[in-house]
Amino acid sequence: MAMHKDKQESRGLLYSLLGDLPERGRPISAELLNKKDCGGYILETLLLDLNGIEPVPAYVAKPKNAHGKLPCVVFNHYHGGQYRLGKDELILNGTFSSHEPYAQTLTGLGYIAACIDVWNFGDRSGRTEDELFKEMLWNGRVLWGMMMYDYLRSVDWLVSRSDVDESRLAAMGLSLGSTASWWLAALDERIALTVDLCCATDFDELIRTRGLDEHGIYYYVPSLLKHFSASDIMALIAPRKRLSLNGRYDKLTPIEGLYKIDKDMKEEYARCGVPNNWRMVIDDCGHMETAHMRSEIVKFLRENL
């Protein structure tokens, strides 16, 4: 791990690699489309103007009869080639998990949970991923950069809400949502807690094992490896708390890469004086959330958020 000494400078460099992005300071607006009583929680369906290019559909799930400012979990949906699912993973679950939907779990813990449809997913689907990547590339944009921009701006919007405690923000997700969560926490210090499932991928080990095609094209950022390893990006999260859960047989996260990341993060968190703020769990499974993982996540959130 070739860590950059100044983390703010490194965040700026990492952000600069994400292509031509809209202005961060542009106003954000939100239109409430529907509010539904889902038993234990209220589900808001919204349309956000985050980027000035196309509207961003979103869900916000809130504990029923809640008052005051609440902790908020930025829930990032997975990919899995299920472009129509998108933010519905929050309320339905899908291919990689057989447990209760996270909207139910998180609001049951007393948290607000928010999820957006990122580019090409949910109510933003209709183009192929390759088509969108190519169009953006021609215009100097990077698909992952535009996704990250929307994630960052969604946090800007969430902290403006009167019911969100901006000092108690968490990011979590599986697969694409996992990568989104640790990148978001690396770029945005407002994320106090990170939970990532099944995508703590070491880039060099992915290349060595010829696993590049296991990830969608959205994932690839020009010139990234000239400046950052996966561990370099993840180190920007330290000293904030992080739980990383992965499968031993997951081809998206080669096992030797997991061992390397775990070693690097233990060293970085120890250097920051908070060794207990990092933990990696490796279950004997593939690309999925196990019952053990769900239990560990709930325990981690209860103790830290």
Q: The sheet that has 164-174: what strands, in order across it?
A: 29-37, 41-49, 56-63, 112-116, 70-76, 164-174, 191-197, 241-247, 278-283
pLDDT reading at 5 higher than 90? no
pLDDT reading at 1 higher than 70? no
Structure tokens at 8: 């703010």
Supply the angle between the helices 143-158 and 176-187 in degrees, to the nearest 10: 70
Task: Indicate the pLDDT class of residue 99, thresholds 50, 70 and 90.
Answer: confident
What pLDDT is attached to residue 4? 52
Provide mean pLDDT across the span 210-216. 94
pLDDT reading at 96 higher than 80? no
What pLDDT is attached to residue 205? 97
Q: Residues with Cβ < 8 Å from 246, sequence gap 6 or more?
A: 197, 198, 199, 200, 253, 258, 280, 281, 282, 283
Listed as own residue / partner, the contacts of 276-281 with beta carbons closer than 8 Å and 24 or more positions apart are 277/238, 277/239, 277/240, 277/241, 277/242, 278/238, 278/241, 278/242, 278/244, 279/242, 279/243, 279/244, 280/200, 280/244, 280/245, 280/246, 281/243, 281/244, 281/245, 281/246
Task: Indicate the pLDDT class of residue 98, thresholds 50, 70 and 90.
Answer: confident
Whole-number mean pLDDT of the chain?
Answer: 96
Q: Which residues, listed in sequence order, are joined to residue 48 by a DSSP beta bridge?
A: 30, 56
Q: Residues with Cβ < 8 Å from 241, sequence gap 6 or more?
A: 192, 193, 194, 277, 278, 300, 304
Task: Indicate the pLDDT class of residue 3, thresholds 50, 70 and 90.
Answer: low
Provide mean pLDDT across the span 191-205. 97
Structure tokens at 186: 């690396």
Rounded alpha-carbon distances, angstroms, from residue 37 to 58, 65, 204:
16, 11, 47
Q: What are phi and psi of 84, to 5 degrees?
A: -80, -20
pLDDT reading at 125 higher than 90? yes
Whether the Cβ atoms of residue 101 and residue 93 lie closer than 8 Å to each other: yes
pLDDT tens digits along 48-86: 999 999 999 999 999 998 999 999 999 999 999 899 999
**Which candidate, 276, 256, 274, 285, places its Cα nearest to that of 174?**
285
Q: What are phi and psi of 59, to 5 degrees?
A: -115, 145
Give dist(CA 239, CA 275) in Å, integer: 9
83: left (phi over 0), alpha (psi -120 to 50) or beta: alpha
Task: Indicate the pLDDT class of residue 2, thresholds 50, 70 and 90.
Answer: low
**Which candidate, 301, 303, 300, 304, places its Cα nearest to that of 281?**
300
Residue 71 has, within 13 A of its CA and on its CB side, a CA count of: 20
